[in-house]
Amino acid sequence: MKYPFLQLSDVNAPYAEQLKEAAARVIDSGWYLNGNETKALERELAQVCQTTHALTVSNGLDALRLIFRAYIRLGRLHEGDEVIVQANTYIASVLAIHDAGLTPVLVDPSESTYNLDSSLIERSITEKTRAILVVHLYGTPCWDSKIKEIAERHDLLVIEDNAQAIGALADTPGLNGTNPTGGLGHAAAISFYPTKNVGALGDAGAITSSDTQLIDTARALANYGSDRRYHNIYQGFNCRMDEIQAAFLRVKLRHLDDESQARHLAACAYDEAITNPLIRKPEIFEGMRQVWHQYVIRCEERDRLRQHLLDNGVGTDIHYATPPHMQPCYEGTFSNPLPMTERLADQIVSLPIATITPSDAQAIAHLINTFK
């Protein structure tokens, strides 16, 4: 295939030498958990997200689970509280809310941003609502003055699912384009799953927050509930990040800006070159920086378009074909209608983006334009 959807070896090839050096450094150190690499990565992540703290953990789902469970320990959330989340997210966002004994309330996304529709949030708020989980889906910040204002007025925690958007900048009123995702709300979860914009060579994740109590509680919960050696204040878990993954991630994080810029140029090339009226392109917004974890177009005859591209050597994917509320594990759980989520699930197609140059994007756009 000329343009596979995503080839992880291609993603990591430019950094192979630096990754091997990082691995050798950890192997030779004899220190494989809770060491200098995870500590340094925590400082570097806090800097990227402009928070005072970061906590390295095992994966993105665990980062979310720990945030919710830590806020329960701190008395900020209670079992049965409702958490608003967009219905077209990856299932991990919903699983984390449930896992902590909280109740996810699914809300349809906006057709223009694919993120939480702020005009639909208010009508989903009840006397049990205590938090909003904003998901920066596909690398587009889910943040506007309305979300901020609603959260403040109803005294809601704002938790960010930043799994797809590290390096993105939100458009915050009064602070144009300078607010990184991961530092917008009270606490945020990052995933370093290998396909994410900053990918480990295995599983890894992180929490970023300027709430010291939240970070201290999550850190203890992630390490058997211990606040110091052999002293357990909580019935905790083991959610630590390996030193070797932290060393790899420090290499990858150094190149985040270049990688985001390359994705931006590919997205702009797609945007300029795709002219087929059967295709709806994603919006490129002024005033914020999107990091294009996915470049998602829409087509009413999605499956026929995918076949056309496949026949011409272009791999595509769907994020996500079956929304969480339609998964077998949630049968009978959610009863509110989610027409936009279901319509999008039938129409969306993700084009290759991770290692795509502007000229690759033009060639793929040309193939899309021949679809009729």
Ligand X SMILES: *Cc1c(COP(=O)(O)O)cnc(C)c1O
Q: Is 114 in the site for ligand X (CB under 6 A)?
A: no
Note the helical H segments in 142-293: 145-153, 212-221, 243-254, 256-273
Among 41, 83, 92, 100, the residue binding ligand X under the rule CB under 6 A is 92
Determine the Cα–Cα distance for residues 148 and 184; give it in Å rounded to an integer.
Answer: 9
**CB-wise, 196 or 219, nearer to ligand X?**
196
* Total of residues contacting ligand X (CB under 6 A): 15
Closest by Cα among 163, 166, 192, 257 to 38:
192
Minimum distance from CB of 55 to ligand X (Å)?
14
Determine the Cα–Cα distance for residues 237 and 168; give it in Å rounded to an integer.
Answer: 30
Q: Which residues pair with 4 in a beta bridge?
A: none
Note the helical H segments in 238-335: 243-254, 256-273, 302-311
Q: Is 109 in the site for ligand X (CB under 6 A)?
A: no
Q: Is 167 in the site for ligand X (CB under 6 A)?
A: no
Q: Is 179 in the site for ligand X (CB under 6 A)?
A: no
Among 56, 172, 179, 191, the residue binding ligand X under the rule CB under 6 A is 191
Minimum distance from CB of 90 to ligand X (Å)?
4
> Residue 311: what are its φ and ψ, rounded to 5°?
-60, -25
Minimum distance from CB of 162 to ligand X (Å)?
8
Minimum distance from CB of 260 to ligand X (Å)?
16
Q: Is 86 in the site for ligand X (CB under 6 A)?
A: no
Closest by Cα among 371, 368, 355, 366 to 7:
355
Determine the Cα–Cα distance for residues 218 and 159; give it in Å rounded to an integer.
Answer: 14
Among 51, 86, 89, 181, the residue binding ligand X under the rule CB under 6 A is 89
Among 71, 193, 270, 295, the residue binding ligand X under the rule CB under 6 A is 193
What is the per-residue binding string for ligand X in 43-72, x denoting contact by CB under 6 A? Answer: ----------------xxx-----------
**CB-wise, 135 or 356, nearer to ligand X?**
135
Q: Is 205 in the site for ligand X (CB under 6 A)?
A: yes
Determine the Cα–Cα distance for residues 135 and 114; give it in Å rounded to an integer.
Answer: 10
Contact 157, 77 (CB under 8 A): yes
**CB-wise, 58 or 364, nearer to ligand X?**
58
Q: Is 142 in the site for ligand X (CB under 6 A)?
A: no
Q: Is 104 in the site for ligand X (CB under 6 A)?
A: no
**CB-wise, 96 or 363, nearer to ligand X?**
96
Q: Which residues pair with 84 in a beta bridge?
A: 105, 132
Stretches 73-81, 86-94, 150-158, 266-274: which one binds ligand X (CB under 6 A)? 86-94
Q: How many CB atoms lie within 10 A of CB 372?
A: 8
> Residue 29: what are its φ and ψ, rounded to 5°?
-70, -25
Helix (H) or strand (E) holding 197: none
Six-digit token pair at 303?
A: 């499956």
Residues that bind ligand X (CB under 6 A): 59-61, 89-90, 92-93, 135, 161, 163-164, 191, 193, 203, 205
